[in-house]
């Protein structure tokens, strides 16, 4: 009886506040959450996790020693992928990061390049920005990846010590200059001989990930791979 009452209340609330897809705005069916099934099916996936020489990997050639790299979706201005990222980063829908991370993690487990990852580390926010936003969207993404890949997420080893300026509209050099010395590793021994998956929500020039990887590579025997929800400059 109690469950029936709860279900009735839920149906009534949906009439007043209907659940809609955060990507396309269409109404969600009861079994759907956050994103409708057609959007999940049609969002443009790259499948780069099977390709060692994909565009994300090439970003880091000659810059930092990355074992493998990928992004889940193609990105273009005005696209559904851009809307998804906007909802995740600026509209407070942090569970979108968890959802995309879980979906991507299942696919990474089918890849020879990623299936033996030991630990997931998100690009950290400065504590001041974290308090202002209330969450780290990259951490939500990492949480989903760790869940579906059955591995640990580490949010304490890599730390951000400086609140850098926004990266928007900066050149590649200015982006690197902006993040060059703002990350530190609290305990190098934590990552010795580990295969680390370093993740961010959007990859643009790769400068932030490069700065993070440069610090993580100070650990003995560590191997770094990289993943993002989308590559923005492709």
Report d(CA 114, CA 103) in Å as an integer: 14
Report d(CA 117, CA 152) in Å as an integer: 10
Q: How confident is the model at residue 128 (pLDDT cuts 50, 70, 90)?
A: confident
Rounded-to-10 torsion of CA 125, 131, 136, 140: 150
The pLDDT, as a whole number, for residue 8 is 46
Pairing of strands 158-160, 183-185: antiparallel
The pLDDT, as a whole number, for residue 14 is 47
* CB-based contact 68:117 (threshold 8 Å): no
Residues 58, 83, single domain; the answer is yes
pLDDT digits (tens, 9 = 90+) for 40-77: 999 999 999 999 999 999 999 999 999 999 999 999 99
CATH code (residue 76): 3.40.50.2020
Look over the chain and give the mean of its residue pLDDT values, rounded to a whole number.
Answer: 89
The pLDDT, as a whole number, for residue 17 is 55
- 124-128: list long-range contacts, CB under 8 Å, 24+ apart: 124/155, 124/158, 124/159, 124/160, 124/183, 125/160, 126/160, 126/161, 126/162, 126/163, 126/164, 127/160, 128/163
- What mean pLDDT comes out for the span 3-17? 45
Residues 54, 36, single domain; the answer is no
Residues 143, 201, single domain; the answer is yes
Residues 61, 81, single domain; the answer is yes
pLDDT digits (tens, 9 = 90+) for 160-217: 987 665 545 555 555 545 566 799 999 999 999 999 999 999 999 999 999 999 999 9
Inform me whether the pLDDT recorded for 108 exceeds 50: yes
Residues 33, 72, single domain; the answer is no
The number of folded domains in the chain is 2
Residues 63, 162, single domain; the answer is yes
Residue 94: CA count within 13 A, CB half-sphere:
12
Q: How confident is the model at residue 18 (pLDDT cuts 50, 70, 90)?
A: confident
Give bridge partners of residue 45 from the DSSP assignment.
73
Q: How confident is the model at residue 12 (pLDDT cuts 50, 70, 90)?
A: very low
- Angle (CA) 194-199-200 rounded to 5° is 160
Inform me whether the pLDDT recorded for 7 exceeds 50: no
Residues 206, 120, single domain; the answer is yes
- What mean pLDDT comes out for the span 122-151? 94
Residues 192, 224, single domain; the answer is yes
* CB-based contact 71:108 (threshold 8 Å): no
pLDDT digits (tens, 9 = 90+) for 220-232: 999 999 999 999 9
The pLDDT, as a whole number, for residue 5 is 43
Proportion of the chain above pLDDT 90, given as a percent: 78
The pLDDT, as a whole number, for residue 177 is 55
- Which residues have C-beta within 8 Å of that of residue 31, sequence separation ≥ 6? none
Domain that holds residue 35: 1-42
The pLDDT, as a whole number, for residue 9 is 44
The pLDDT, as a whole number, for residue 169 is 53
Higher pLDDT residue, 156 or 17?
A: 156
The pLDDT, as a whole number, for residue 170 is 52
Residues 172, 85, single domain; the answer is yes
SS3 83: helix
Residues 116, 1, single domain; the answer is no
The pLDDT, as a whole number, for residue 166 is 55
Distances (CA, A) of 175 to 168, 179, 185, 208: 9, 7, 20, 8
- Angle (CA) 164-205-103 rounded to 5° is 95
Whole-structure pTM value? 0.86
Inform me whether the pLDDT recorded for 15 exceeds 70: no
Residues 17, 99, single domain; the answer is no
Residues 181, 197, single domain; the answer is yes
């Amino acid at each position: 009886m109690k469950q029936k009452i709860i279900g009735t209340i839920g149906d009534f609330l949906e009439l007043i506040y209907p659940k809609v897809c955060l990507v396309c705005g269409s109404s969600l069916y009861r079994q759907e959450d956050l994103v409708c099934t057609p959007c999940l099916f049609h969002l443009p996936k790259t499948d780069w996790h099977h390709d060692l020489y994909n565009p994300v990997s090439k970003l880091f050639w000659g810059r930092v020693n990355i074992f493998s790299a990928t992004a889940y979706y193609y990105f273009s201005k005005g696209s559904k992928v851009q809307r998804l990222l906007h909802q995740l980063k600026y509209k407070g829908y942090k569970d979108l990061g968890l959802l995309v991370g879980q979906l991507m993690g299942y696919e990474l487990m089918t890849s020879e390049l990623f299936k033996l990852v030991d630990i997931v580390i998100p690009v950290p926010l400065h504590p001041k920005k974290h308090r202002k936003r209330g969450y780290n969207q990259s951490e939500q993404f990492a949480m989903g990846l760790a869940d579906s890949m059955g591995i640990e997420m580490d949010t304490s080893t890599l730390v951000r010590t400086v609140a850098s300026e926004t990266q928007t509209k900066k050149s590649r050099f200015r982006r690197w200059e902006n993040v060059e010395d703002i990350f530190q590793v609290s305990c190098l021994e934590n990552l010795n001989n580990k295969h680390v998956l370093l993740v961010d929500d959007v990859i643009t020039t790769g400068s932030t990930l490069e700065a993070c990887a440069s610090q993580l590579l100070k650990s003995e025997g560590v191997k770094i791979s990289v993943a993002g929800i989308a590559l923005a400059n492709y």
